[in-house]
Structure 1
């Protein structure tokens, strides 16, 4: 198996697995469940903005360090932060823990840049059209 094809296949499998998030449309309803001590106003005012601002701040950092770190460590951070986010959403009950989960969600979204650009850094230009499709 050629190296470019192996990289493409591995990234496709990883991308498919990371994008399977069937619960995402229902996160707000889940956060407002009886087992948590938060209100809808707190979720909208104190939780979700943390994710948005942390994503914006971390995206700048990720843009600057992606080439320096050679992509792979950031893709690893992407996977770890994704697991950490969903774990925190499942097993925490406090507002502060939800805010930490949103910071990690910002990390998850920001490090997707490394995932999307890794293939073009590792594959020769002659194969760009194949790996893009």
Structure 2
């Protein structure tokens, strides 16, 4: 198995993110791709996008696998819970769940300006 093919798209206007937001975005992508690798099944592909929308960064990870065709199962790992806690701590929102037609979606909206500090701009 060569791994999960991943397509990445960025439209974040080279936004310099506060460290906590940058780390949260990285961990969300990391965990979502790990979950896709584990659960999506053979032949699945994933798409990652990072987009600046107004005062926020939106991070989406989609897969087209067969692993999430039904309702999410209880128990197992703590990946989705950890993502939700990380996003909530920054004042953002996280939505996760099966995609229409198969696959799974993780979508986080993270404010570029965190509760702890002001937005940093590129120099």
TM-score, with length taken from structure 2: 0.31
TM-score, with length taken from structure 1: 0.29
Structure having the larger proportion of residues in strand: 2
Structure having the larger proportion of residues in helix: 1
Higher relative contact order (CA 8 A, sep 6+): 1
